Amino acid sequence: MSDSGTPVHILGAGPGGLATAAALRERGISAVVLERTDTVGSSWRGHYDRLRLHTARTHSALPGLPIPRAYGRWVARDDLVRYLEKYAAHHRIEVATGVEVHRLERADGAEGAARADGAQAAEGAQWVLHANGGRRLTAPAVVVATGYNHTPHLPDWPGRDGFTGELLHASRYRSPAPYTGRDVLVVGAGNTGAEIAADLAEGGAGRVRLAVRTPPHILRRSTLGWPSQRSAILGRRLPVRLVDRMAAPLTKLSVPDLTPYGLPRPDAGLYTRARQGAVPVLDVGLVDAVRQGKVEPVAAVESFEDGKVLLADGDTVTPEVVIAATGYRRGLDELVGHLGVLDSRGVPRVHGRRTHPAAPALYFNGFSNPLSGGLRELALDARRIARAVARAAG
């Protein structure tokens, strides 16, 4: 990449970071992956036990290594971690663990940030990386792949701190065993909340409620052997209104109406909601659990009062446990917020092969949440980034 031989630096040893490193290596470009923990795929290791990919194995592999057929169509969490370990070894990816980069600066100081140490960047470097231990690293190009689900978000509900029951974010949930016989309220009807609610119902929780602010679109993970992901791939280039019209009758045919159980169908179309950031829920047990009365949809949480939870419709519930499946933040503000590359939600304004005018040679991978599957898209973006870096290197 430069006369000094400085490699491209990639932040994050998850699927996005490893895929980008492999794609760069394929083009003869050296790269080092910086990982804050002590292993690859750390975020995947921390997910709940029953997790399986909602995307098909054939559409979830990273560049240059298929996922083994023995892992099945819907890959389990532990098998995906095993695959990521094999992937790093197969491509001989250099991973530096225990390195956390907390701020990026232009090597030429173009963003206006003064360097306290006064050190000069290495020749050919465009970026200075400020890491733990006071380290200052330099790189000709940087790829940020720290993950879409980086920092758990727990809403600051009024009265939350005075709640006398157990309150935890979904990132801390592993299995239903600790909640056997207990009254549990799951907050958030996205894929995580829906699956945790179903897991609790199947695993022996005494009572399970699911707090829903906006009813989600619910799809079968596959219908007659056809994965929903394939339909999303085929429809991703079509007009939004057309996809909405096509999806509505198919959804009604494949998923029963849960309105009588307190979970009505959304008013907005499926693709319209997805463009707004609300991906559909792929059913892995919620529909049956709701119909059987094992999961009770209730209104959104408004506040806490002692041991009670006040809901948006005025009802009050008294769960022993509240599990907040309330999403994540990207955690990029300290790292790159001063560069002007983030939108109001803290999401990169550009990703893949494109770079922001204020930040040349700074790429982002894995920060979209497409209907066509996150792993598929970050694999495609990894190759696009590698081509862009190769072109820039001349």
Q: Helix (H, G, I), strand (E, B), or coil: what is residue 348?
A: strand
For residue 307, the model assigns a pLDDT of 85
Confidence of residue 3 (pLDDT cuts 50, 70, 90): very low
pLDDT for the residue 21: 98
Written as one string, the DSSP assignment of 261-306 is GT-PPPSS-HHHHHHTT-PPEEESSHHHHHHTTSSEEEEPEEEEET
Going by the DSSP 8-state scheme, the letter that residue 366 receives in this structure is S
pTM: 0.89
pLDDT at 4 over 90: no
Q: Work out the average pLDDT over 193-200.
A: 97
More confident residue, 260 or 116: 260
pLDDT category, 95, cuts 50, 70, 90? very high
Q: Is the pLDDT of residue 1 over 50?
A: no
Q: Which fold has domain 153-324?
A: FAD/NAD(P)-binding domain (3.50.50)
- Burial degree of 101 (CB within 10 A; 0-12, 13-18, 19+): buried
Do 193 and 349 contact (CB within 8 A), yes or no?
A: no
Helix (H, G, I), strand (E, B) or coil at 309: strand
Helix axes 15-26, 374-393, angle to 10 degrees: 40
What DSSP letter does each residue of 147-199 carry, written as one string? Answer: -SS-EE-----TTGGG--SEEEEGGG---SGGGBT-EEEEE--SHHHHHHHHH
The whole-number average pLDDT for the span 215-228 is 84
pLDDT at 124: 59
Mean pLDDT within 70-93: 97
Sorted by where each begins, the domain ranges of the chain are: 8-150+330-393, 153-324
Work out whether strand 8-11 and strand 142-144 pair parallel, antiparallel, or are unpaired: parallel
Whole-number average pLDDT of the chain: 90
- Beta-carbon contacts of 82 under 8 Å, excluding residues fewer than 6 positions away, are none
Predicted local distance difference test score (pLDDT) of residue 110: 58
Do 8-150+330-393 and 153-324 agree at the fold level? yes
pLDDT value of residue 337? 95
Residue 259 φ/ψ region, left for φ over 0, alpha for ψ in the -120 to 50 degree band, beta for the rest: alpha
Long-range interactions of 343-352: CB distance < 8 A, separation 24+: 348/144, 351/381, 352/380, 352/381, 352/384, 352/385
**Residue 226 in this model has a pLDDT that exceeds 90:** no
For the ranges 127-136, 203-212, 267-276, which has the lowest average pLDDT? 267-276
Percentage of the chain beyond pLDDT 90 is: 75
Other beta carbons within 10 Å of 199: 25
User: How close are the terminal C-alpha atoms of the chain, in Å?
Assistant: 9
User: Model confidence over 57-75: pLDDT tens digits?
Assistant: 999 999 999 999 999 999 9
Tokens coding 39: 């292993």
pLDDT band, very low/low/confident/very high, at 119 (cuts 50, 70, 90): very low
Domain 8-150+330-393, CATH number (from 3.50.50.60, 3.40.50.10490, 1.10.150.20, 3.20.20.140): 3.50.50.60
The two three-digit tokens of residue 295, written as one number: 């999961």
The phi, psi pair for 350, rounded to 5°, reads -130, 160
pLDDT for the residue numbered 23: 97
> Which band of pLDDT confidence, cut at 50, 70 and 90, is reported for residue 111?
low
pLDDT at 148: 84
d(CA 283, CA 286): 6
Q: Calculate what percentage of the chain has a pLDDT beyond 70.
A: 94
